[in-house]
């Protein structure tokens, strides 16, 4: 199989990031294409620059990397990682954490490119769960 866009899940909670990773794998994402970078270095609530940096490298298969943060400092830390190590094939994407990850993960598993995967994650903001 060809290179797929990698996905990094950045959450304040390690359990939340791992849970979303597990969900993506159940929906067809290859385990090596998704990384959970959740929690602080001591396993508590928080974010870790090093974990994010390692996760980006871990899932980089040559097709690009989408970084999906949950809130607050996860966004700031993820952006800082990519500012410190600039690359044209990685992006921090503003998307709902779970829905954006699912949209990105499903599309990435088809071999879609970086721009399409990032766009799918962003478009999850408009996806309705209940039609009235």
* Catalytic residue numbers, as ranges: 12
What whole-number distance in Å separates Cα of residue 16 and Cα of residue 73? 16
Please, which residues bridge with residue 65 across strands? Answer: 6, 90
Which residue is associated with the tokens 């959740």? Answer: 38
Angle (deg, nearest 10), helices 49-59 and 73-84: 60
């Amino acid at each position: 199989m060809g290179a797929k866009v990698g996905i990094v899940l950045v959450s304040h909670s390690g359990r939340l990031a791992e849970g979303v990773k597990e969900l993506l794998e159940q929906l067809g994402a290859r385990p090596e294409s998704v990384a959970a970078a959740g929690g602080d270095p001591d396993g508590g609530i928080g974010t870790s620059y090093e974990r994010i940096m390692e996760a980006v490298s871990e899932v980089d298969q040559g097709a690009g990397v989408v970084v999906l943060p949950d809130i607050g400092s996860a966004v700031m830390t993820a952006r800082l990682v990519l500012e410190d190590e600039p690359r044209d094939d990685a992006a921090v994407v503003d998307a709902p954490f779970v829905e954006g990850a699912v949209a990105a993960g499903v599309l990435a598993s088809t071999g879609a490119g970086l721009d399409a995967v990032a766009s799918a994650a962003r478009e999850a903001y408009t996806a309705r769960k209940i039609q009235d």
